A and B are shown apart, each in its own frame.
Chain A
Amino acid sequence: MSNDAVFDAFLAKQLEEGLAWAKNIGVLSLSPIPGAPPSRYVAHFVDCKGLVQQNDGRIVEFDQFMVGIYFPEDYLRHVEIPRVLTYLGPHPSPFHPNIRPPFLCAHLVPGTSLVDILYACYEVWTYSIFSAADSLNPAAAQWSRQQDRKRFPIDRRPLKRSPRRTNLTPMEAK
């Protein structure tokens, strides 16, 4: 526990919401690194298509990635994205304008929730969102500019689906 009740409450809420969301969407394994409450997480997305560059230079689809998320003590008041997000693999050469291991660039503001961070990471990985202007990987930025925009996103499945539980009961005939 830190001496900061507001930050501790934030962390506790992220743990609860993050685990519930990960369980709900099914393509994410979220592992909190022990702490009371945890301030670090390893998120392993599976079955999410992004692009990687193979040793022979070919650009191919790859369906998993891992990202480390760290909430430093001043996270609610100040954000440094390199400190919050770390690309952890498993592929060493992701091909994306805004990813260059170990950095992953996404839009965050102080206090962005864990679920929103994870969603932002998914959007970056699948090319739902990318910025070719401020790029970490110039080759990927140039490549993405040359592509037909209809090619993106690589994975079109929306992630933030909350299952609708509707109980349908047949109406009785009058």
Chain B
Amino acid sequence: MNAYQAKIIRRLRRDPSRPRGKRVLVVGCGNIGSQLVPLVARMKGIGMLILVDCDGYEESNLSSQSISSSDIGRAKAFVQARLARKLNPRLRVLAIHARLECVPLGWLRSDVMLACLDSKEARRCANEIAWRLGTPLIDAGIEASGLLARVNIYRPAANQPCLECAWDRRDYAQLPVKHPCDAGLGPSTPTGAPACLGALAAALQALECLKILAGDLSNAGKQILIEAGTHRHFLTGFSMHPKCRFNHAGWNASKISRTPAQLSVGAALRLASDAGASLTFAGMHLARQLDCPGCGFSPRVYRLEERLSRRERICPQCGQDLLVAGFHSQSQLKTKEVEPVLAARSLASLGLRGGDFISIKGSQRESFYELGGAPAVARSRLITRSIP
């Protein structure tokens, strides 16, 4: 074999879906996020950037976010993806226009996660995903009234604190509660912070990102806070709360090549040799029936509640949002209870997507699997995805 043949074989053996360089995930492209994306795009050694945001830019964002008037009305993730590609044409970018909790976990695999979010609930979700995937998390926040900019660094590992370790019952009581009498959780309140404060937090976050990518996790479990009003700088350490309400568990998932369309419920259950195994959907719930609180319409379904599209959630009779009552849903499918018709159904028909996680819980242990079919980012430089 000559040198040329060896080079071709090496190239063929290389996994085409795994781009060279580090992967960075940015969640939220608002005040902080829009300032952060250009900083990350210019970093050396970044092979892939994943952007997630469910909103679009509005006119009111012009004063506080790093955008131009032509971006108004466009999805934030897509605008920032194009900007990042302009700054670094070699960068592979996956832009996802969706709520973070709706994105399959496999799409969010990265070397570091940068959260630029404006609500406690979204931060709670980002924290959970970071720990499930074992990804270091840098969470940034700003407060306009005190001119405060801060970043918190978390490393998912034994005895390390998570975001929720510092929360008490008052923090949880502040989280939005979904009631059957309202149409869901409203939009988050804008921070009202100036762009310069967002840029300060973004700069801190980018610096910590560089350190983590270089293997320096010495700031894990710490908060860096700058009080710009009085030019004071604080470094605070946190410790793990032994009774933290979040269980800090990582989901070490094995990748399987079959897509949700190729894998049936029965075949998924057979991934475990345990006859009493049960199939769970990474915290999602399987709805058996939807109910309209407005007109009482109640269609039967067999779909994951978290994967119902906006269209599927609208009552065809009165236009209100359809909801799932707790006793009309289940969090797991046990082998013994699965009927043959259900066993033959594909996971895609339940609403699972490529890159979603499932787990098989046997009597001894729980095994996690990542379903095949996640977006292949190596084939194109920029991929955009919208999840309704």
Contacts and interface: CB of A to CB of B under 8 A. Distances in A.
Interface of A: 3-7, 40, 68-70, 72-74, 76-86, 88, 98, 100-105, 108-111, 131, 134-136
Nearest to A3: B249
Contacts of B173: 109-110
Contacts of A83: 285, 324-326, 329
B169 interface: yes
Interface string B316-328: 0000000111111
Nearest to B305: A83
Nearest to A77: B245
Interface residues of B, number: 33
A135 B181 CA distance: 6
Nearest to B329: A83
A137 to B, nearest CB: 9
Contacts of B324: 82-83
Contact of A86 (B121, B164, B328): B328
B131 to A, nearest CB: 12
23 contacts: A3-B366, A4-B247, A4-B249, A6-B245, A40-B326, A68-B326, A68-B327, A69-B326, A77-B175, A77-B245, A78-B175, A79-B178, A82-B179, A82-B325, A83-B325, A85-B326, A86-B325, A102-B328, A105-B180, A110-B172, A111-B169, A134-B182, A136-B180
Contacts of B243: 6
Contacts, number: 105
B291 interface: yes
A72 B328 contact: no
Interface of B: 121, 124, 164, 169, 172-173, 175, 177-182, 243-247, 249, 283, 285, 291, 293, 296, 323-329, 331, 366
Given A5-B247, A83-B326, 15 more contacts: A3-B247, A70-B327, A72-B326, A74-B283, A82-B324, A83-B285, A83-B325, A85-B326, A88-B327, A100-B296, A103-B323, A110-B245, A111-B169, A134-B182, A136-B180
Contacts of B291: 102-103
Contacts of A102: 291, 325, 327-328
Closest 8 CB pairs of A and B: A70-B326, A103-B180, A86-B327, A4-B247, A102-B325, A68-B327, A80-B178, A110-B172
A6 B247 contact: yes
A86 B289 CA distance: 13
Nearest to B241: A6
B169 A77 contact: no
A83 B326 CA distance: 4
Contacts of B293: 100, 103, 136
A102 B323 CA distance: 10
B177 A80 contact: yes
B199 to A, nearest CB: 32
B178 A82 contact: yes
A81 B172 CA distance: 15
A25 B124 CA distance: 38
A5 B241 CA distance: 13
Nearest to A6: B243
Nearest to B124: A77
A73 B178 contact: no
Contacts of A76: 172, 245
B317 to A, nearest CB: 14
Nearest to B247: A4
Nearest to A71: B326
A78 B124 CA distance: 9
Could you say which of B180, B245, B293 has the most chain A C-beta atoms within 10 Å of its C-beta? B180
Contacts of B328: 86, 102
B22 to A, nearest CB: 30
A81 B177 contact: yes
A76 to B, nearest CB: 4
Nearest to B289: A102
Contacts of A135: 181
A158 B212 CA distance: 58
Nearest to A134: B181
A131 B182 CA distance: 13
A68, A100, A101, A108 interface centre (most CB from chain B within 10 Å): A100
